[in-house]
Amino acid sequence: MKRLIACILLLVCLAPAALAERLDDEVLLSYYDNSVIFGDSITEAFRRYRSAVRQTDDSFLDGTTVICVSSISLYAASRRFLSGEFHFSYRGSEKTMYQITKEIKPERIFILLGLNDPVGIKIDKAVVWVEDIITHMPEFSPDTEIYFFSETPVTPGFCEWKGRPNYQEKINEYNVKLRETCEAHGAHYVEIAEALKGEDGYLNPVYSSDNRCHFSDEGVAVWIECMKDYAQEQYDLGLWDPFAAPEEPVASGEAQEGA
Amino acid sequence: MKKLILPLLALLLACLALTAAAESAEAPETLLERACRIAEDSDGLIVMTEDDLYDLIGIPPEDWADFAYLADYDALSGRELIVVRAVDEEAADRVAAMLTAYLEGRMRVTRNYLPEAYKSLSEAQVLREGLLTVLSIAAPNPEEAGLLLQEE
């Protein structure tokens, strides 16, 4: 009897894992349809990688708009007016992240910014800027969900170049705060940093194109795998159903009939 | 029988040759084909889409009849080639203005950050011949833009 109960308990515990299905890559990446990714020079590599893949597979992330500009800071992006020297540009005009989001009205926006501030030495201020974005974005696009990628790791070479030997530790601290801030204010945190690190806790040199902070193809590929993992997690948690039929708009006549 | 077959074969071959010539005569070279032929490094460049042309540079589909937009895989190198044939003179004015603004924006971003790319950008110019406008940046052949315009 005891053995029977133990077997039943074991089956109950293992059944969900057995039933959990890994979705196809194409399905997972559809999570990022009708989305915008905002970033700086790190995201430039992502954009070019996507363009290169689309030479042979034009469906690859084709529902995702990538808007990035080198040197832009999280602070500048958090402002509701054009601030500082570097601005996002969309369709020929310099615009704030808010204006672009209002124009496109995406389902989701993903933000990877902070390297140019740099957030590691301004953690408390950076948290305020993140809160500003989460607070003000709904004024421009109330139905857009906000996601922050974790700040990506850097190499020891970057830390040395910047004269900040403990900068990677600071990034780690910032990411903890970033996650807390997202969770506290209804935004979402997407972890990509850990998968990019080597055993030493810095950016894996294989994933770096310049031995500092920018990504190689392999690095971008890891980033995209993390995005797929995140989409899978949302599916497993029942928070996203890629197979749900899209809701059809209700005609005004039908709405009145049921009233 | 041989006297019949040989002429028939000759006639068939002649028809095939004429058809091939007619097909090639009917299909003018696209700007993308021209750009890929003239750009010495085109094998290593990514073909960007009309969405990229609009989203990144601001040239809307209604302003162009044809275009080619090639960019280096390495986003930090600055290498790009953009060729646009506008639908009319007014559109060509807008295209030239957009490409100029794009070039200036790229220079602003790279000035203190990517000195080599900045140098290439500062040597680049937006050139126009009729409805055709070209922006060639960091080309292996400095005559690239001129060659593209010459064939218009």
- Measured at the alpha carbon of residue B39, what is the angle toward residues B34 and B41, in degrees to the nearest 5? 135
Specify if A258 maps to a domain.
no
Element (H, E) at B25: helix B2-26
CATH of the domain at A128: 3.40.50.1110
- Mode of pairing for the β-strands spanning A93-95 and A88-90: antiparallel
Give this complex's ipTM.
0.82
Contacts across the A-B interface (CB distance below 8 Å): 54
Using one digit for the tens of pLDDT, what is the confidence trace for A178-187? 999 999 999 9
Provide the residue ranges of all domains of chain B, joining segments of one domain with +: 29-150
Specify if A226 maps to a domain.
yes
Specify if A46 maps to a domain.
yes
A41 chain-B contacts, CB cut-off 8 A:
75-76, 113
**CB-CB: which of A51, A71, A93 is closest to B46?**
A51
B108 chain-A contacts, CB cut-off 8 A:
85-86
Q: For tokens 């039943």, what's the residue? A: A8
What domain range is A140 assigned to? 27-236
Using one digit for the tens of pLDDT, what is the confidence trace for B30-73? 999 999 999 999 999 999 999 999 999 999 999 999 999 999 98
- A251 band by pLDDT with thresholds 50, 70 and 90: low
pTM more than 0.90: no
The dihedral sign for the CA sequence B137, A217, A150, A161: negative
- A4 band by pLDDT with thresholds 50, 70 and 90: confident
Q: How many domains does chain A have?
A: 1
Residue A225: strand, helix, or coil: helix
CB–CB contact A71 B109 (8 Å): yes
Specify if A2 maps to a domain.
no
Closest chain B C-alpha to A89 CA, distance in angstroms: 7
Closest chain B C-alpha to A214 CA, distance in angstroms: 10
CB–CB contact B75 A41 (8 Å): yes
